[in-house]
Amino acid sequence: MAVEKLFKDEATEEKGERARMASFVGAMAIADLVKTTLGPKGMDKILQSTGRGHSVTVTNDGATILKSLHIDNPAAKVLIDISKVQDDEVGDGTTSVVVLAGELLREAEKLVGSKIHPMTIISGYRMASDCARKALLDRVKDNKDNAEKFRSDLMRIAMTTLSSKILSQDKEHFAKLAVDAVMRLKGSTNLESIQIIKKAGGSLKDSFLDEGFILDKKIGLGQPKRIENANILVANTAMDTDKVKIYGARVRVDSMAKVAQIEGAEKEKMREKVQKIIGHGINCFVNRQLIYNFPEELFADAGILAIEHADFDGIERLALVTGGEIASTFDNPESVKLGHCKLIEEIMIGEDKLIHFSGVEMGQACTIVLRGASFHVLDEAERSLHDALCVLSQTVNDSRVLLGGGWPEMVMAKAVDELARKTPGKKSHAIEAFSRALIAIPTTIADNAGLDSAELVAQLRAEHHKEESNAGIDVITGSVGDMSALGISEAFKVKQAVLLSATEAAEMILRVDEIITCAPRKREDRM
Amino acid sequence: MIDEVEDRRNQSHYNRRVNIYKQQQQHLPLEPYTHTYTVCTADLNHFVDPTNTSMALAFDEYGRPFIILREQESKSRLRGIDAQKANIAAGVAVSRILRTSLGPKGMDKMLQSPDGDITITNDGATILEQMDVDNQIGKLMVELSRSQDYEIGDGTTGVVVMAGALLEQAEKLLERGIHPIRVAEGFEISSRIAVDHLEKIAHKFDFSATNIEPLVQTCMTTLSSKIVNRCKRSLAEIAVKSVMAVADLERKDVNLDLIKVEGKVGGKLEDTELIYGIIVDKDMSHPQMPKQIEDAKIAILTCPFEPPKPKTKHKVDIDTVEKFQTLRKQEQKYFDDMVQKCKDVGATLVICQWGFDDEANHLLMHRNLPAVRWVGGVELELIAIATGGRIVPRFQELTPEKLGKAGLVREKAFGTTKDRMLYIEHCANSKAVTVFIRGGNKMMIEETKRSIHDALCVARNLIRNNSIVYGGGAAEISCSIAVEAAADKYPGVEQYAIRAFADALDSVPMALAENSGLSPIETLSAVKAQQIKENNHCCGIDCNDTGTNDMREQNVFETLIGKQQQILLATQVVKMILKIDDVISPSEY
C-alpha cells in the first residue's frame, strides 16, 4: 500500500539518479555561467538588481556575480558558498574554484554514467587532490629572504590578478599601487587600514596612492584650512547636548527662569568639556559623533580644526595612522595619547573637498584614490583592486609563489595522470577524470581568448612532459610561452584553496543521493 | 430528502442499514425530528464514500440517529487492518530514506529548509528533523531517532533502519492473520533475548588516561560513515582527548557542556584543532586595547558598565542648577568607581555580558584594562569554569579570589575580512575545552560539528560503560542467530514473531552490504555461516574492502549501550505502531 503523504504540501523529494542529475545539472549550470569570465580575455557580466532603481553592476568577479544570483538549486548553492568562502579567505580565485568544481562534477557525471559508484569516485578524487597538492608544493618558489625578488614576485602576482579585470590596461600602474599599499602593512592582513576612495572623473590612470590619510569630510566654517604640525585628538563622544545618563533623570522646573538657568548650566557643561578638550593642547579634533553648532563655534574661536561625524572605520583608521587613542573622557589630558601629523589641509579631488592628513607617524595605513569615468568603472576597479590587495596580503604571510597561465593546472594534471597509471582498481578512472578536470582550466582560458584550445593544450601537455617546464598559455600572443620569462605568477595559497575547496564541494555534492526540499515558508504579501 | 435515501437503497451494501432505518422511521412521529434527518442524510451521503465503511453513526433505542464524532464528514478515518498497514507503510517509507545513509559507504542527503538554506548530512537524526514530515507515523519515527540522539548520540540512522525492518516483518505476519498484539509481544520477548545476548558477547576493554587508543578506534568507527572520514583519525583523537580532558573518571561521568564546538569557514579540515581553553567569537571592546595578555586575571561580570537601572520606577527630578551639576559629578564618579573597582582587585582583563558606555570604554582603555563586551551567557559560564573564576553580578562583590586566571589570552584574525576571535588558553582549570573546526564551506562545518558531536557522545558512553560490541553488522548477525535459536523454544504464535525479529535484525548488515556495493544476500549468508561455524561473533560485513571480515582485526567497535538502546527503542516504537488500530485525522480543507 502506497503511503499517501509523508511530507507536507509542496515539499518535494528527489531520489537516487534523479537527485544526482539535479545536482550535477545545477552545479554545471553555475560553472558554465561564470566560465566565460575566466582568464585575461574573460568577458564581464551585467547584473541588474531587482531592488529599487534596478541598479546595474558590471563585473568580472566570480564571487560578485554568484552572490547576486537567486538560485533555487541546492547543489548550485553549495558552489556559490565555496566561492564566497574563497573570497573571504584569500580574496581571489573565486571564478576558478567554481569552474574547477563544475568540471569535477562534469567528469563525475560521465563516470557515474559508466556505472562507477560515487563513493569510488570520491576516494579517487581524494587521492588525486592530495597528489596534486604535493606536486604544487614541489614546484613552489619562495623568495622570502630576498626582499628585491620578493617584491618583484608581488608585482607579478598583482599584475596577473589584475590582468583579468577591468584594470588590465593600466595593470602595471595599479599593481604598483597595490604592492606599495600592502608592503606598508608590514605583514598584517588587516586590509581595513588601506582606504579606497572613489571619485568619479579623470581616467583610471589618474588614480594614486597617498601615503597619508584622506578623510571624506569638510572642515567646519571659520576654522583653519591648513595646519602644520598638528596634534590630533581622536574622540568618540557626544558633542550635542550631553545627556545625563543616570536612569530616570528628567528636568522638571516650575518657572521660565529656571529653564534658563538649567540651559545655562548645560551650556556651561559643554563649555567645560570643550575647554578640557582644548586643554589637551591640540589643534585638531576629530569626533565620531556630531558636533553641534555651539561647540563648533567654541573650537573655531580657539583656532582648532573640528571634524564631525567621521564614521567608525574612519576613526579607527585615523587613530591607527596618527598614533593617537580614541578618547571618550577628557579628565586626564596628560595621559591621553594624541595623534600627530605634519600637515592637515583641504584638498580638491575633482569637485569634492577632502581633508588630507600627511606626514603621519605610523606608516601603516594609506589611501588609494581611484579615479574613473563612471561609477560602474569605479566599482569594478575597487573590486579588482580589493582582489589584488587580498592576494598580496596573503602572499606576504605565505610567500610561496607559483607560475600562472595554466601552468599550475598542467603540473598538477601531469602528477595526477602519473598517479592514475600506478593505481590499480576502478579508482584510477576517477583519478584520470580529475586530471581532465584540471586541464579544463587552461582550456577555458584559451577558449575565452578565442584561441584554438585543443591545439594549445596539446602543445602545452607535450611541453610539460619535459622536466621542469615553465610552459603556460600566453594569451597575448596566442601561443605557448615561458611563464617565468613572461612574468606571470600566482600565489600558492590561492591555488591551494581553489584545489581543496573545489574537491571538497564536488565530494559533498557527489555523496548526495537524495534531495528533500521543504515547503517554502509562507510569507505575508506586503507588496 | 427521503426520496434520495430511497434512491440509494439499492445501490450498495448500505441497503440493510437504510432499510432498518426506514423501518424505524415508520414508527416515529415525523415532525419533531426534522433536524435529525438532515444530519442523518449528511452522514448517509458520507456512507457512499467507499473508504469509510462503518462510520460513527449510531442509533439509540428509539432508532434516533446520533453522532459520535463531530463534523464527521470533514475527517478521514482508517480502521483495523487498513490502519495498521497504512502506518506500517509510512514507517517503512521513512526508514527507506535513511537506509542508504547507513555505514561507511552510506550516501548523504541534501535538505533544503523552508528558508532555502542547504544542509548536507549523513546523520539520521538531522535528516529526519529537517525533513518536514507530515505523516503521524513518520513523526513517530522522527521522535525515535531524536531520542536515540539524546540518549546515546550515535546510531540514529541504525535505529530507524531497524524499526523499519521490524515493521516490514510485522506486515507479513499481519497478512497471515496473526493478531498485532501477539506480534508486539513476540517482538518484546525477542528484544529482551537480543539485549541479553549482546551483554554476553560484549567485551570490556581497558583504557586509561594514558592509553586512549581503544577509545580513538571506537570514535573512528563512528566518524567513518561521515563526510569527514578523510581525516577521521585526527578528529577521533581530538574528540577523545577533549572528552578525557573534561571526564570525571572516578564518577564515570562526562559533562559534554564543558566541550564547546566552534566552527569558522575557511582553511581546511585538517586545520581543525583542540584548544585547552575557550574561544569566544568576540574582540576587544576598544580597537586599541592590547591584543595579547599573558597571565591574565579575569574579572567575569554580568553587570553592564553603565549607570544602574533600578527596576522600581523612579524619577530624579532636576529643578535647580546645583542638582544638575551634582548629578553630573555623580555620573562621572560612577564610571570612575566601576573601573577603579576592577582595577583594585587586580584584574587584567574584564569580560562582561553586557555593553559598555563610550565613556566607560575609554576609561577602561585609559587605565590599561582590556575588556570584552557582549559575551553570551553560556560562554561566560564556560570561561568561569575554565579559568576558575566566579561570575560576579555586582561591582561591589568583586574580590581578588573571584578572578579567573588564564596563562594567555590573545586575539586572532582570520582571512581577509574583519573576523577576529578571542582565545583564552592555559587556564587554571583545564576542564573546559574547545574544538575549533575549520572547513571549506558552511555546510562542511555544520556537518563536521554534527560528526564531532557523535564522536564525543561515543567517547562519553565508553567512559560510562566500557563494554563494546563489534560493528559492521557483526553484533546484529550474532543477535539474529541467538534469537533464531531461541525462537524454537517458544510455544505459541509468538514463535513466528520471534523468527521475524531475527530476520529484521539481518536487515542492518544487509543494508550495510548493499550500500557498500556487495551483493547483500550472498554476503550476509556467508558471514552468518562463518559466525556459526567458527563460533566467532566478530564477523561482520567488510564494507571497506580490506579483505577480512573479522571486525576485531579491522578495529570496528560500537558501544554496548548504544546497540542495546537501538534495539530497545526500535522495538518500543514498533510495538506502539502495531497497537494503533484507528487513525482519525482532520481532512484538508
Query: At residue B117, what are phi and psi to the nearest 5 degrees?
Result: -75, 150
Chain B hits for A326, Cβ within 8 Å: 286-288, 362, 365
Among the listed residues B100, B121, B156, B222, the single catalytic one is B156
Quick one: pLDDT at residue B137? 85
Query: How many alpha carbons fall within 13 Å on the CB side of residue B291?
Result: 7
A8–chain B Cβ distance below 8 A for any pair: yes
DSSP state of B588: P
Quick one: pLDDT at residue B10? 44
Quick one: pLDDT at residue B75? 65
Among the listed residues B119, B123, B154, B348, the single catalytic one is B123
Quick one: pLDDT at residue B12? 43
Quick one: pLDDT at residue B490? 87
CA distance A179 to A268: 51
C-beta atoms of A249 and B443 within 8 A: no
Q: State how far residue A362 is from chain B, nearest Cα, in angstroms.
A: 14
Chain B hits for A2, Cβ within 8 Å: 89
Q: What is the pLDDT of residues A106-151, one digit of tens each?
A: 999 999 888 888 888 998 999 999 999 999 888 888 877 777 888 8
A121 CB-near residues (< 8 Å, 6+ apart):
A108, A111, A112, A430, A433, A510
B354-363: buried (b, 16+ CB within 10 Å) or exposed (e) per residue? eebbbbbbbb
Amino acid of residue B151: E
Quick one: pLDDT at residue B74? 62
Quick one: pLDDT at residue B394? 81
Q: What is the pLDDT of residues A425-476, one digit of tens each?
A: 888 999 999 999 999 988 988 888 888 888 888 988 888 888 778 888 888 8
Closest chain B residue by Cα to residue A235:
B362
A85 CB-near residues (< 8 Å, 6+ apart):
A501, B265, B266, B440, B441, B442
B114–chain A Cβ distance below 8 A for any pair: yes
Among A169-178, A196-205, A211-220, name the one with the lowest average pLDDT: A211-220
Quick one: pLDDT at residue B53? 41
- Taking residues A62-67, report their average pLDDT: 84
By Cβ distance, the residue of A74, A249, A501 closest to B316 is: A249
Amino acid of residue B123: D
C-beta atoms of B120 and A508 within 8 A: yes
Higher-pLDDT residue of B286 and A175 is A175
Quick one: pLDDT at residue B322? 79
What share of chain B has pLDDT > 70, as a percent? Answer: 86
**CB within 8 Å of chain A, chain B residues 367-406:** none
B517–chain A Cβ distance below 8 A for any pair: yes
A181–chain B Cβ distance below 8 A for any pair: no
Query: How many alpha carbons fall within 13 Å on the CB side of residue B65?
Result: 24
Mean pLDDT, chain A, whole residue set: 81
A512–chain B Cβ distance below 8 A for any pair: yes
Query: At residue B205, what are phi and psi to the nearest 5 degrees?
Result: -130, 150
C-beta atoms of A336 and B366 within 8 A: yes
By Cβ distance, the residue of B112, B334, B366 closest to A517 is: B112
Amino acid of residue B562: G
C-beta atoms of B116 and A72 within 8 A: yes
What share of chain A has pLDDT > 90, as a percent? Answer: 9
Neighbours of A153 (CB within 10 A): 24
Bridge partners of B253, per DSSP, are: B248
Please report which helix (H) or strand (E) contains residue B321, including its range: helix B321-344
Among A54-58, A183-187, B128-132, B401-405, name the one with the lowest average pLDDT: A183-187
* Cα B278 from chain centre: 25
Quick one: pLDDT at residue A131? 93
Residue B525 exposed, middle or buried by CB count within 10 Å (0-12, 13-18, 19+): exposed
Answer yes or no: A61 catalytic: yes
CA distance B26 to B278: 85
A258–chain B Cβ distance below 8 A for any pair: yes
A516–chain B Cβ distance below 8 A for any pair: yes
Cβ atoms of A86 and A93 within 8 Å: the answer is yes
CA distance A418 to B206: 45
C-beta atoms of A19 and B324 within 8 A: no
By Cβ distance, the residue of A74, A119, A266 closest to B112 is: A74
CA distance A124 to A428: 7
A46–chain B Cβ distance below 8 A for any pair: no
Answer yes or no: A94 catalytic: yes
**CB within 8 Å of chain A, chain B residues 310-349:** 310, 313-321, 324-325, 327-328, 330-332, 334-335
Cβ atoms of A171 and A163 within 8 Å: the answer is yes
Q: Which of B149, B174, B153, B196 is nearest to B469 (CA)?
A: B196
Quick one: pLDDT at residue A84? 85
Task: Dump the DSSP string for B100-111.
Answer: TT-STTPPEEEE
Closest chain A residue by Cα to residue B94:
A6
Please report which helix (H) or strand (E) contains residue A205, including its range: none
Q: Which three cell numbers stand for residue A147?
A: 626582499
CA distance B444 to B441: 5
Asked whether the predicted pLDDT for residue A3 surpasses 60, the reply is no
Higher-pLDDT residue of A38 and A254 is A38
Quick one: pLDDT at residue B545? 73
Answer yes or no: A95 catalytic: yes
Among the listed residues A59, A94, A367, A443, the single catalytic one is A94
Query: At residue B467, what are phi and psi to the nearest 5 degrees?
Result: -90, 140
Give the C-alpha distances (Å, rounded to integers) separating B158 from A63, B169, B507, B569.
40, 17, 10, 11
Residue whose entry in the numeric block shows the C-alpha cell 557525471: A109
Give the C-alpha distances (Å, rounded to integers) separating B353 from A246, B284, B378.
20, 13, 10
A192–chain B Cβ distance below 8 A for any pair: yes
Highest mean pLDDT among A284-293, A341-350, B199-208, B560-569: B560-569
- Taking residues A483-494, report their average pLDDT: 85
A266–chain B Cβ distance below 8 A for any pair: yes
Quick one: pLDDT at residue A243? 62
Contact pairs from chain A to chain B, CB under 8 Å: 245
Cβ atoms of B496 and B171 within 8 Å: the answer is no
CA distance B398 to B393: 9
* pLDDT per 10-residue tile (average), chain B, 589 residues: 47 45 47 40 41 58 72 68 86 88 85 83 86 82 88 86 92 90 92 92 80 84 81 88 84 82 79 85 79 85 76 71 78 80 84 80 80 84 84 82 85 69 80 83 85 89 86 89 90 89 91 86 90 86 79 84 92 91 71
By Cβ distance, the residue of B108, B135, B306 closest to A3 is: B135
CA distance B577 to B91: 9
B231–chain A Cβ distance below 8 A for any pair: no
CA distance A438 to A444: 10
Chain B hits for A93, Cβ within 8 Å: none
By Cβ distance, the residue of B90, B110, B318 closest to A3 is: B90
Q: State how far residue B219 is from chain A, nearest Cα, in angstroms.
A: 21
Quick one: pLDDT at residue A245? 64
B94–chain A Cβ distance below 8 A for any pair: yes
Query: At residue B472, what are phi and psi to the nearest 5 degrees?
Result: 60, 25
Amino acid of residue B408: L
Bridge partners of B317, per DSSP, are: A250
Neighbours of B61 (CB within 10 A): 5
A234–chain B Cβ distance below 8 A for any pair: no
What share of chain A has pLDDT > 70, as a percent? Answer: 90
Bridge partners of B260, per DSSP, are: B434
C-beta atoms of A85 and B319 within 8 A: no
Quick one: pLDDT at residue B39? 39
